[in-house]
Chain A
Amino acid sequence: MKSAVLVFPGINRERDMARTLRLVCGHEPAMVWHADTTLPAGTDLVVVPGGFSYGDYLRCGAIAGRAPIMDAVRAFAAKGALVLGVCNGFQILCEAGLLPGVLMRNSQLKFLCRDVYLKVERSDSPFTRGYNAGQVIRVPVAHGEGNYIADAATIARLEAEGRVLFRYCDPNGNTDLDWNHNGSLNAIAGIVNERGNVLGMMPHPENHVESAMGCTDGRGLFAGLADHLARAA
């Protein structure tokens, strides 16, 4: 497994992501600067990490979504290769046109930094094969703009095509307004593109992978990816 973590000015979670990839997948990822125009040869997985790319100016992810490296990422995704965007990475993938919809300011207009519960909607995806369908996991969020919005037709299509992989829920897996912390439509926390090879999600699974962190629920995502790529090799 050869992964690449994109680095934009203002990103601050790239080292967390690199550490997790090294820890769970056993390989050191390449760190790829935003001004580069190509990905390292043989890359299996591109990760767009969280942070505040370009200080969140214009809109979150708007500038990074148009960075030079993103043409290479779009070409990479078009081949069916795996792309994961977390938090600001999700916003960047939406701005880059790789995922539909937009992440608006949280409905309560407050920055959220806490653990949330997610229901894994399906396990037959490269990103969720490390979980069981219906499993509830606990992972942290840290964002001011995670309120997923799309037009009604897009939401209907996402739901009909099973493209919602993660949904905010209570500890028992019930979707409830009180547990949909940022107000996302249909409690959406993570979606994939039509081909299922590009995932964007607001929570940070990379921050719950070691017992020292108090929880290892995020580990399944990366272990599943490593397993998927090992089988594909």
Chain B
Amino acid sequence: MPLKGPILAFGLAALASVAPSAPTDPSSTMGAERGGPAWSETKWPFLLDQWGTGRAYRCPAAACGVETNLYLRAKVGFCNCETGVADDAEVDRVADVELLGDRYVPAGDGRPITVGWMRGRSRPYSLEIARGARRVLAVAFNDKCDVVVATVVAERELPAGAEGAALAFLNGNQVLQWAKAELGAQ
């Protein structure tokens, strides 16, 4: 049904946006938590879809080399309960890259990651945009049947340290506390 077009168009608009939006919670600026750069929360830029709204964060160019956005959502009950995010097929299944556009392909194999008490994988994707392609990183990790997915994208090509910066932020107290509440984890 025709909802898809507007959602994707909005995603592309969000991807292309360079205008900074005010943090919804100034106190959420992450500082140099666990050695990671400063991430501040911004407004969720996408239209409502079947997964609801998530949390959006921005890392300024001064801290991340290039302005980088991270979109975080929980998909409660939609992970493989038995194996978790054990392979790239599961990352492909649960990832949120389509928030940014529907023309994307994996750009390499994924690798195991750990976020707090959760394990998962990160995998790069190449997203087709109006003038070429852009690298997007999808990070997925689970607690039993529940999965959290993070989508990392920059206004230009993702810098080499983007994955490390994103993982440092995801392993910070703010995201872990959010994940515990969102997933109902103990």
Chain A residues within CB distance 8 Å of chain B:
12-13, 50-52, 56, 87, 105, 107-111, 113, 142-145
- For the complex, is B75 an interface residue (Cβ under 8 Å from A)? yes
A111-B4 in contact (CB<8A): yes
A56 partner, pick from B50, B78, B92, beta carbons under 8 A: B50
Q: Chain B residues with Cβ under 8 A from A143's Cβ?
A: 1
Q: Chain B residues with Cβ under 8 A from A144's Cβ?
A: 50
In the assembled complex, the CB of A207 is this many whole angstroms from the nearest CB of chain B, namely 11
Residue of B nearest to A111 (CB): B4
In the bound complex, CA of A102 to CA of B92 (Å): 25
Residue of A nearest to B3 (CB): A52
With A56-B50, A144-B50 known as contacts, the answer to whether A110 contacts B98 (CB < 8 A) is: yes
B94-A109 in contact (CB<8A): yes
A142-B1 in contact (CB<8A): yes
Chain B residues within CB distance 8 Å of chain A:
1-4, 50, 75, 78, 92-94, 98
Listed A/B pairs (11) with beta-carbon separation below 8 Å: A12-B1, A12-B2, A52-B3, A56-B50, A105-B50, A108-B93, A109-B75, A110-B93, A111-B4, A113-B4, A143-B1
In the bound complex, CA of A132 to CA of B98 (Å): 39
With A105-B50, A108-B93 known as contacts, the answer to whether A52 contacts B78 (CB < 8 A) is: no
Q: Chain A residues with Cβ under 8 A from B98's Cβ?
A: 110
In the bound complex, CA of A58 to CA of B3 (Å): 18
